[in-house]
């Protein structure tokens, strides 16, 4: 884990909007460079803290929010905790407790769950299926 990843995963930081797509070496920038798309149809996103699979590639969608967005986690992989102010729901890796981002529900996105897991790209690593 590098210092930027540590700041998000372990200290609940947030990467700037557009960071993942606009920064060389980051998740979405590299996906576009290597695969030509931020939305590969196969594979899985794993936790950079512990390598646990967190999101299937098929659950990633375009939310336009500036962070990678998914409509559901791998079953059992994501832990949800209401923020101290009661307004937002934090999402964490259920295995290592790493902070991932927040989940928003009922926003009306045309996805099967009507949920948006807004995840810091820095927390995720893409693993193509073999
Ligand atoms: Zn983890």
CB 1, CB 98: distance < 8 Å: no
> What is the value of pTM for the model shown?
0.95
Strand partners, 82: 89
Kindly give the confidence (pLDDT) of every residue in the chain, 130 residues in length, as a single tens digit, with 9 standing for 90 and above.
899 999 999 999 999 999 999 999 999 999 999 999 999 999 999 999 999 999 999 999 999 999 999 999 999 999 999 988 899 999 999 999 999 999 999 999 999 999 999 999 999 999 998 6
Residue 4 Cα to ligand 1 midpoint, Å, equals 15
Residue 44 Cα to ligand 1 midpoint, Å, equals 14
Residue 13 Cα to ligand 1 midpoint, Å, equals 15
Residue from 47, 93, 96, 118 carrying the catalytic annotation: 118
Alpha helices in the chain (DSSP H): 3-9, 19-22, 27-35
In whole angstroms, what separates CA 33 from the centre of its chain?
19
Q: Would you call 118 a catalytic residue per the annotation?
A: yes
Residue 99 Cα to ligand 1 midpoint, Å, equals 9
CA distances from 47 to 55, 105, 106 (A): 9, 22, 26
CA-based nearest residue to 78, from 55, 56, 108, 61: 55
3-state secondary structure of 56: strand
The neighbour count for residue 101, using CB atoms within 10 Å, is: 25
CB 50, CB 98: distance < 8 Å: yes
């Amino acid at each position: 884990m590098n210092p930027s990843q540590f700041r998000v995963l372990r200290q609940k930081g947030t990467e700037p909007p557009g960071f993942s797509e606009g920064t060389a070496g980051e998740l979405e920038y590299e996906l576009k460079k290597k695969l030509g798309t931020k939305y590969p149809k196969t594979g899985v996103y794993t936790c950079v803290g512990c390598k646990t699979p967190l999101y299937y590639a098929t659950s990633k969608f375009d939310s336009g929010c500036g962070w990678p967005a998914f409509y559901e986690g791998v079953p059992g992989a994501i832990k949800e905790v209401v923020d101290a102010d009661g307004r937002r729901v934090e999402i964490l890796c259920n295995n290592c407790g790493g902070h991932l981002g927040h989940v928003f529900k009922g926003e009306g996105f045309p996805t099967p769950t009507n949920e948006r897991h807004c995840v810091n790209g820095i927390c995720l690593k893409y693993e193509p299926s073999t």
